[in-house]
Structures are given as structure tokens and as C-alpha cells.
A and B are shown apart, each in its own frame.
Chain A
Amino acid sequence: MNFATNINTVLQNDTALNALITDTAGNVNIYSYDLPDNFPVNISAIVFTYKKENGEHTLQLKNVLEYYSLYIVVLAYNSEDLETIGAAVRDLLDEYSDSHIKDITYEDDLNGQDPDTERYYKTLQYSIIYKN
């Protein structure tokens, strides 16, 4: 399992978070990199991107551990939903670990509103130690 798939699975499998970002058509709105074209502005969603920062190498093995920055952008049409979904993400990830995601640390966030769509956004940044 690669990093992106792993993160997507973790987010998709959390029922509390899913309940907040599932639209009336039953779509769980979690995406990587970007929203789908013409995504409605009144539907809440999560978009995540990531960057591999570096790897831990030994004499015989490369990338024994990998270090990633994960950016989770929460999008909502009002600030209350934004904060609720943001809190659900933090509840899920702040203490999360599994056999691949060995350690995750909440680093920072950035909040704002897109003036064109009037959609609120919150970018949560995490540092992750990952084992492939």
C-alpha cells in the first residue's frame, strides 16, 4: 500500500468523519490533489495532498522510514461545518497509528475563505513517519 492509498483508506474508514462529508447522494467527498470539476460549493469535502520530505537510509536498505508532510484541506460552505469537520479530522488523526503510519504529528493549520466561491477552507498540516 502506498502513502496516498493508506491516507485515503484511513479517512474513508472513519464513520464519524464520513457522516460529516457524505452528501445527500451518498457520496463520501474525500479527494486527493483537487476537487472534481464543477463540484458544488454548498457540499463539504476534504482534499488531501502530501509531500515526501526525506527518507531514512541505512547502509543496506534505503527508505527504511519515510517522512511526509500531509496537507488536509477541509472545505465547507459555512464556518460551523468547517470547524466541526476539522475537529473530526483532528480526532481521527492526532493519535492515529497503524503498521504503515507509524507516527503522526499535527503541526499547523491555516483558515480562510475563498472570495470567489465563498467557500470556507481549513488546511491542516501533519508530519508523518511512514513505513512502506
Chain B
Amino acid sequence: MATETILSKEMTLSYDSKVIALCTDFTLEINKEEIDITSLNSDGWKEKKVDLKEWSVSFNGLVTRGTDATYSVYDDLLADILDTDTAITVAMADTDGSATISLSGSAFLTSLQTGVKVGDKVTFSGKLSGTGALS
């Protein structure tokens, strides 16, 4: 039985082929649309079929100053949400050699929130809405 757990430190979230710098967490959500096909012949149980799939990634991180050639930083995200309407390559992977989790696709940056609180660091959170397949 495989019992080796994957730790979050092994995970990366890449945006535009560069790892998002100082990302503190991210969540991948994959949903399938449900179609209710319940009828009078369903014997009291709902019946369903599934149709279209969709995916999105929400993430949080720490705001840093300036730009970085190696990493995607807040400045890149801000520029994209303001000025870019094209889909961006997004990838999630664990850095272990076997790469149990390795997913990528194209997505639009549809939300970017900046959090500022007195006596604390400045944070950002964003949402990437997938377009097309995640594979």
C-alpha cells in the first residue's frame, strides 16, 4: 500500500511558465455539471448524468516589490488582470521525481485581491478560471 504523503512544500503553482513567488497556498477545484434526469420511473431516487467539466485555481501569496525574471510576482499578476485578456498557461506539480500531481491548462486570471492590514504583511489572492482541458 502506498503510504508516502505529498507535502505542500513539494508543490508549485506556475503562472505563465514561472512559479508564483511566495505563494502560501492554492486550491484546485474541478467540477462536473450535473444534469438531473429523475423521472416518475426513478423509484424515489434522483438520477443524474454528468456533462461539461470546468476547473479553477484559487491561490494566496505575499506581495513583493518589483519584478522577477524567474518567478511570477504580484506585479505580473496585476499587469495581466488590468491589461491582458488572453489565457495564460497554468501548471501545478509536485517537485518530486515521480510527479504524482502534474496538471496544466490555460486559464484566465479573473480575480486579484490585495489585502492590506495595519501591522501586517501585504497579501494577494487570485482566481484562475480554466478554459479548455486540464490535463
Contact = CB atoms under 8 A, between A and B. Distances in A.
Contact of B121 (A60, A61, A65): A65
A118 interface: no
B117 to A, nearest CB: 11
A94 to B, nearest CB: 13
A23 interface: no
Nearest to A65: B121
B119 A59 contact: no
A44 interface: no
B119 A60 contact: no
Given A61-B22, A64-B22, A56 B121 contact: yes
A129 B121 contact: yes
A58 B61 contact: yes
Contacts of B22: 58, 60-61, 64
A105 B118 CA distance: 10
A57 B26 CA distance: 13
**A interface, how many residues as a size bin?**
10 to 19
A64 B62 CA distance: 9
Nearest to B23: A59
Nearest to B64: A64
A59 B24 contact: yes
A60 B62 contact: no
Interface stretch (B4-12, B39-47, B76-84, B108-116): B4-12
A129 to B, nearest CB: 7
A54 to B, nearest CB: 12
Given A56-B62, A60-B9, A60-B19, A105 B24 contact: no
A60 B12 contact: yes
A57 B24 contact: yes
Interface string A80-107: 0000000000000000000000010100
A94 B105 CA distance: 49
26 contacts: A56-B24, A56-B62, A56-B121, A58-B22, A58-B23, A58-B24, A58-B61, A58-B62, A59-B8, A59-B11, A59-B12, A59-B13, A59-B23, A59-B24, A60-B22, A61-B22, A64-B22, A64-B62, A65-B62, A65-B121, A103-B119, A105-B119, A127-B119, A129-B119, A129-B120, A129-B121
Interface of A: 56-61, 64-65, 103, 105, 127, 129
Closest 6 CB pairs of A and B: A58-B22, A105-B119, A58-B24, A59-B23, A59-B11, A59-B8
